Structure 1
Amino acid sequence: MYLGATTILALLAVGANAFATSWKDKIKTVVVLVQENRSFDTFAGGLVYNSTINGLAHHRYCNPANVTDPYSEIVCAKPIAANVAPDDPNHGISGVNMEILGTYHPNEVLVDTGKERETMLGFVTEQSSTYKTENLTRAAEAINYYTQSHIPVFAAMAENFVLFDRWFAAVPGPTNPNRAYLTSGTSYGHGRNDHAFNIAGLPQRSIFQQLSEKGIEWINYQNSTKNPMPNPSSGFNPDALFYNWTFTSGKWETNIKPIADFYSDAEAGKLPPFTYINPECCSYDSYHPPSPISTGEGFIKSIYEALRGSPQWEETLFILTFDEHGGFGDHVRPPVGVPAGDDLTYTETAPDGKNMTFNFERLGIRVPTVVISPWVEKGVIESKGINNGLEYTHTSIPEFIAKLWDLDSLTPRTAWSSTFEHLITNKMRRDTPDTLPEPVSW
């Protein structure tokens, strides 16, 4: 039978369209775990299973002891990071400005070039200033890094699935603004972990509200040692309870559950389409200092193995990321001039006593991120996004979910963010590990 050119083109178009949409049929359960406060270089920069990883195993990274002194002593990163970090580096926005720019005030420019000082050389300086120490061995902990043997659990995840080595935090600042951007596409002008997060004070529409409006079930499992509302003085809320809608709708009582329920629901094959997991903060399983690396490894191992053993494994996509860099060093410059989530700004007083205003048009520092599924290839290193060359950042997650379940983009930032559906293949793997290595202590 002879097929004309028009018919052949039509068949090709149908086939291409079927391929483009078929990835949605493979993923029915999305699981997101957001750990705490580690940069890519210091946590994953020592991975050596693939020589193309843009980390510190093949890159010498040094900071001056004083970034403002051209004759300062030089301090270089070494693969000797501690299991329990002795200090918690500064990760407020003005402190991160010093780490990235060598100044608390991003408006300052070099006279000779007219460019901002985005050198990534101020981590040791800020660590010394924060802890008022001239002990450079202590200050160097802000840039020292882990080897692959230190983090066998994360390394096995990365080596068996997809590692992103150019995934940036949403905000060059602390935990809750980043978690708000990840779950709603904006922090509504909040640049620090202020009281609004503890009292469901954010008014914007979140991914949780958006999913409920679409009739898609979700649960925020949380491993907090604190009590959520209605006792806001007791500590951090799980991320879904940042939002006023979650409280007023009553979803905080029905859709926020303890981490023990995650394990039982996974075993029973009863995880909802969208599963969001909060670790505790910040003593034992979150990686946030003083949480030991080894116990954080044990926690992510338990999450993976619960999913791998679940009846839902063959339809699951698991995203593991870190909310922000926690003040730890990285050599890759974050993108600037990106869309903010809205037109609100944030102002704080920098350590030099002068005000600093931030407009949310700069991404945060790189963080380790892996995407895990039987539908992704083994050992992929994913760098810059393919969507018009845009970047991967925390708002890539809600935008991916929007594409998966035909939702609208929450904000200009989510609409801008690169997504990763192209990583989902047409062949389900049978070689994904049932278990991961045991954590190590040192």
Structure 2
Amino acid sequence: MKNRRFGLCAVLVVGALAIAVGTAEAAGDAPVPPNGLEKIDTIVVIYAENRSFDNLYGKFPGANGLANATPEMARQLDRGGSPLKELPPIWGGLTAQHFKPAVAEADTEHLPNAPFAIDDPKGLNTPVSAPTRDLVHRFYQNQIQINGGKNDRFVAYGDSGALVMGHYDGSKLPLWEVAKRYALADSFFMAAFGGSFVNHFYLACACEPRYPNADQSPARGLIAAVEADGVTLKLAPDSPKSALDGVPKFENDGSITPHDFYAVNTMQPPYQPSGVKPAPGGDPAYANPNAPTTLPPQTETTIGDLLSEKGVTWAWYAGAWRAALDGAAVTPAPNFQFHHQPFNYFAAYAPGSAARAEHLRDGGINGASFIEAIDSGTLPQVAFYKPQGNLNEHPGYSEVLAGDEHIAEIVRHLEESPQWAHMFVLITYDENGGFWDHVAPPKGDRWGPGNRIPALIVSPFAKKGFVDHTLMDTTSALRLITRRFGLPVLDGLRERDEAMAAAGGQRLGDLTSALDLPSP
């Protein structure tokens, strides 16, 4: 394993790069921008939550969707390897507890072993305006569910029964129309196995967070119990043998890998706002470092660091950031999620630093501050936007429709912005949220890619009405930023390419395949 400098990521790299990437990039310098890419002055990345491609866009015209999923591809296996005779109930019921009328567990029994429409009026009849219960979406479970690319253990190793196989008629959503007007990528994957925590890190640094010496720390109880393959969680002796009998139980479904101590499931930021309160008598701007779930400050190079070194302006706009700092980000709204601001984990953006004040910005309640920057034409050259919790489409505490309407409204403001003529916008989701997708993820490195997720490319330069089949993942956003602004290539980008090439695959795209760029 190749180790990077203290504080963060090491990624398993197998073999040498088998695809030519150019002399400059191989030497560690920035790749040369293609003709016309200099026409893009502003790059915006909008990061929603927890939806697989098939869950929302499985019926999109021209896309590799549910019509391409044969019954054999969609069939789910039980934990012993035999096909399930039917899907188990949605444990605990379909809808989130605060939604009425509820769809009870008994209402979801005896569904066929196949994908189903959550919003089917003749079925469960649960519209896109109703928040469903959450689904497990964790590092080890995701790999077990993918099962080497067969995607046939989603039910068996989920915690929501049949719900993993549910999807919507996405044509009812406003972003569907945005995708029809611009471009939709249907071979775009989440960068890392698991959940929001690690995938936000991948958007910030293309790397996996680390907890050095976790076995000698307050977090030692969070080290996962894993089989010798390094991928499979150890089942508890009393775990149900069949998915029809209940949710699997594990010896220790922890957040930290054994032996080398990478943080693969949600841990809390070392700085406020955090899910961990300050230490008694300690600095109120810090989380208690002795709490088991507090991740130590990270020191890996981020895309933000590289942009700053090059003099390129950038910011991460977090919806309800100011409210969270003031202690007002409560449920049900705005419901700020602490692990959705990845730069709050890095020492370079610690409280009191100039970098924090400049780059970690408040998106405002309902995105008001972000919209103000859009309307005034004052967005930095690179802008990341994370909607607040109740507008991010995450099952359990958000609904699809509200988040979709919010992002569509953001798009409308971007289209009317003074900066629009030279803008590129990527709208994507951090991960699949536990929902099944029929397309096998490409073989990569130890950390991913994980399952397929939606990605919309919105720009005056986008190929109109285009479905892009180019292989990409979350780090493709960083590849585009790197290429456009001539940045050094992050280690994680190169390591992902090397691992995919060694596995016989292809290099990941940088989103330019969805663009018609004018000649200079």
TM-score of the pair, normalised by structure 2 = 0.63
Tell me, in whole angstroms, the C-alpha distance in 1 between the residues paired with 2:478 and 2:263: 19
User: Which residue in 2 is equivalent to 1:185?
Assistant: 206
Deviation at 1:326, TM superposition (A): 0.6
Structure 1 unmatched runs, 5+: 1-18, 102-116, 132-138, 339-358, 385-390, 429-442
Tell me, in whole angstroms, the C-alpha distance in 2 between the residues paired with 1:262 and 1:71: 48
User: Which residue in 2 is equivalent to 1:239?
Assistant: 342
Q: Which amino acid aligns with 1:266?
A: I
Counting only pairs closer than 5 Å after superposition, residues 86-125 of structure 1 correspond to structure 2 as: 86-101=132-147, 117-125=148-156
User: Which residue in 1 is equivalent to 2:169?
Assistant: 147
Distance change >3 Å, CA 215–CA 372, structure 1 → 2: same
Distance change >3 Å, CA 122–CA 396, structure 1 → 2: same
User: Which residue in 1 is equivalent to 2:432?
Assistant: 325
Tell me, in whole angstroms, the C-alpha distance in 2 between the residues paired with 1:156 and 1:66: 38
Which residue of the other structure, out of 462, 465, 470, is the alignment partner of 1:379?
Answer: 465
Bigger shift: residues 247-256 or 399-408: 247-256
User: Which residue in 2 is equivalent to 1:73?
Assistant: 85
Q: Which amino acid aligns with 1:396?
A: S
Deviation at 1:414, TM superposition (A): 5.0
CA-to-aligned-CA distance 1:86-129 (integer Å, 9 cap, x gap): 3211111121123111xxxxxxxxxxxxxxx43101112223xx
Deviation at 1:309, TM superposition (A): 0.9
Matched residue SS, 1:70: coil
CA-to-aligned-CA distance 1:119-175 (integer Å, 9 cap, x gap): 101112223xx25xxxxxxx3221111113332x12112111111111111111010
User: Which residue in 1 is equivalent to 2:488?
Assistant: 408
Matched residue SS, 1:321: strand
User: Which residue in 2 is equivalent to 1:107?
Assistant: none
Deviation at 1:413, TM superposition (A): 2.7
Deviation at 1:408, TM superposition (A): 0.7
Matched residue SS, 1:195: coil
Q: Which amino acid aligns with 1:191?
A: V
Bigger shift: residues 160-169 or 283-292: 283-292
- CA-based RMSD of the aligned residues comes to 2.7
User: Which residue in 1 is equivalent to 2:182?
Assistant: 161
Deviation at 1:401, TM superposition (A): 0.6
Tell me, in whole angstroms, the C-alpha distance in 1 between the residues paired with 2:177 and 2:151: 29
Structure 2 unmatched runs, 5+: 1-31, 87-112, 120-125, 210-261, 275-286, 288-295, 330-335, 498-507
Instruction: Tell me whether 1:211 sits opposite 2:307 in the alignment.
Output: yes
CA-to-aligned-CA distance 1:270-325 (integer Å, 9 cap, x gap): 111011101122x3443443311110111111110110111111111000110000
Matched residue SS, 1:31: strand
Instruction: Tell me whether 1:315 sits opposite 2:315 in the alignment.
Output: no
Q: Which amino acid aligns with 1:54?
A: N
User: Which residue in 2 is equivalent to 1:111?
Assistant: none
Q: Which amino acid aligns with 2:171?
A: S
Conserved in 2, the CA contact under 8 Å of 1:170 and 1:178?
Answer: yes
TM-score of the pair, normalised by structure 1 = 0.74
Matched residue SS, 1:252: helix
Tell me, in whole angstroms, the C-alpha distance in 1 between the residues paired with 2:266 and 2:494: 22
User: Which residue in 2 is equivalent to 1:393?
Assistant: 473
Deviation at 1:228, TM superposition (A): 5.1
Tell me, in whole angstroms, the C-alpha distance in 2 between the residues paired with 1:401 and 1:20: 10
Tell me, in whole angstroms, the C-alpha distance in 1 between the residues paired with 2:326 and 2:412: 33
Matched residue SS, 1:210: helix
Matched residue SS, 1:86: coil
Instruction: Tell me whether 1:418 sits opposite 2:494 in the alignment.
Output: no
What percent of counterpart residues are identical? 24
User: Which residue in 2 is equivalent to 1:41?
Assistant: 54
Q: Which amino acid aligns with 2:354?
A: G
Q: Which amino acid aligns with 1:263?
A: I
Tell me, in whole angstroms, the C-alpha distance in 1 between the residues paired with 2:83 and 2:409: 48
Bigger shift: residues 222-231 or 24-33: 222-231
Which residue of the other structure, out of 372, 375, 378, is the alignment partner of 1:267?
Answer: 375
Tell me, in whole angstroms, the C-alpha distance in 2 between the residues paired with 1:397 and 1:306: 21
Tell me, in whole angstroms, the C-alpha distance in 2 between the residues paired with 1:295 and 1:166: 26
Tell me, in whole angstroms, the C-alpha distance in 1 between the residues paired with 2:325 and 2:302: 18
Conserved in 1, the CA contact under 8 Å of 2:117 and 2:169?
Answer: yes
Conserved in 2, the CA contact under 8 Å of 1:227 and 1:235?
Answer: no
Q: Which amino acid aligns with 1:313?
A: W
CA-to-aligned-CA distance 1:364-412 (integer Å, 9 cap, x gap): 100000111011111111113xxxxxx3111111111111000011114
* Paired positions, count: 354
